[in-house]
Amino acid sequence: MAEKILVGADHVGFKLKNRLVDELRRLGYEPVDVGPKSLDPADDYPDYAKPVAQAVSSGEVQRGVLTCGTGLGMSYTANRFPKVRAALAWNEQVAELSRQHGNSNLLVLPAQFVTEEQGVNILHTWLETNFEGGRHARRVEKIDQ
């Protein structure tokens, strides 16, 4: 069964989000687009961050993807949810380390600072990289202690 991945954005991340949804589908995942479904320059990032972070936090899905202009608003919001480790990744190395060391379960992309192509490459790296465990597992566990 295809893994369900929730994806959301605000108006700044809207175009990149659509590209990521297409890419996830092409890769064989089951992307669930929480919106926005059309471009609304007045929308607010928490309205899209919350449903994605909530689904990851509750275990309803394993992973989520969010994008806004800087990626910061999405990160602030998503990381308030227990068990969510939202990683703001502006290049592939950050995405890779966020998985290897932090076991990130939510990828945040800064749409104003990456091209669509870079965003797709960062997504690939993030999806394909495994958590290393070991000493990193101890540290990740301490986040919630």
Positions marked catalytic: 68, 101
Minimum Å gap between C-beta 10 and ligand RB5 is: 5
Query: Which residue lies nearer to ligand RB5 by CB, 81 or 103?
Result: 81
Pairing type for strands 63-68 and 86-88 reads unpaired
Binding site residues, ligand RB5, CB under 6 A: 10, 12, 45, 68-70, 72-73
100 Cβ contact partners less than 8 Å away, ≥ 6 residues apart: 129, 130, 131, 132, 136
Query: Which residue lies nearer to ligand RB5 by CB, 69 or 102?
Result: 69
Minimum Å gap between C-beta 74 and ligand RB5 is: 7
CA distance 48 to 67: 9
Minimum Å gap between C-beta 69 and ligand RB5 is: 3
- As a whole number of Å, the CA-based R_g of the chain is 14
Query: Which residue lies nearer to ligand RB5 by CB, 38 or 145?
Result: 38
CA distance 50 to 78: 6
